[in-house]
């Protein structure tokens, strides 16, 4: 790939991540009931209440803010690296509730969350690598 193609791919990955955050955040904000019903097992769905729905909406609003910032910022190699490394706790959450000690709380659909988090981490670290390489070429 040529340098302009690589940089365009970085922008596309950034846009895809921003769109995912914004879209899924909007879903949590606007329809928390379906998010809870699809994401949690019946035992835990039965315990959902007004506070649970409020927290789901707050989570959605934060995700939308993250998507907005990600979609409108000029990301650098450092910021992509920080964003990628910030996915580690989310991947840990996927492990803990998916196959670890808290297994049984979330439905099997949560593997999609794991795949998304791995995409965010891998995509961010790849973008950081490309930008570092491009910065190195510019300095020579």
Please report whether residue 29 resides in a domain.
yes
The strand pairing partners of 106, in sequence order, are 40
What separation in angstroms does the CA of 103 have from each of 47, 99, 110, 115, 134?
A: 17, 5, 11, 17, 43
Q: What share of the chain is helix, strand, coil (3-state, %, to 5)?
A: 80, 0, 15
Q: What is the pLDDT of residues 1-18, one digit of tens each?
A: 788 899 999 999 999 999
- The string of pLDDT tens digits covering residues 101-111 is 999 999 999 89
Determine the structural domain holding residue 50 and report its residue range: 3-135
Does 140 fall in a domain?
Answer: no
Whether residue 109 is contained in a domain is answered as: yes
Domain count of the fold of the chain: 1
In a domain, 127, yes or no: yes
Overall pTM > 0.75 = yes
């Amino acid at each position: 790939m040529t340098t302009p193609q690589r940089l365009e791919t970085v922008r596309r990955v950034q846009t895809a991540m921003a769109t995912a955050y914004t879209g899924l955040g909007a879903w949590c904000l606007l329809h928390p009931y379906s998010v809870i019903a699809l994401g949690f097992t019946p035992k835990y769905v039965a315990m959902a209440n007004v506070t649970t729905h409020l927290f789901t909406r707050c989570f959605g609003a934060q995700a939308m803010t993250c998507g907005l910032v990600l979609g409108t910022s000029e990301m650098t190699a450092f910021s992509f690296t920080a964003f990628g490394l910030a996915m580690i706790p989310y991947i840990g959450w996927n492990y803990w509730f998916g196959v670890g000690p808290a297994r049984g709380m979330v439905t099997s659909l949560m593997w999609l969350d794991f795949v998304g988090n791995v995409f965010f981490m891998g995509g961010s670290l790849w973008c950081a690598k490309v930008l570092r390489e491009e910065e190195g070429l510019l300095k020579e």
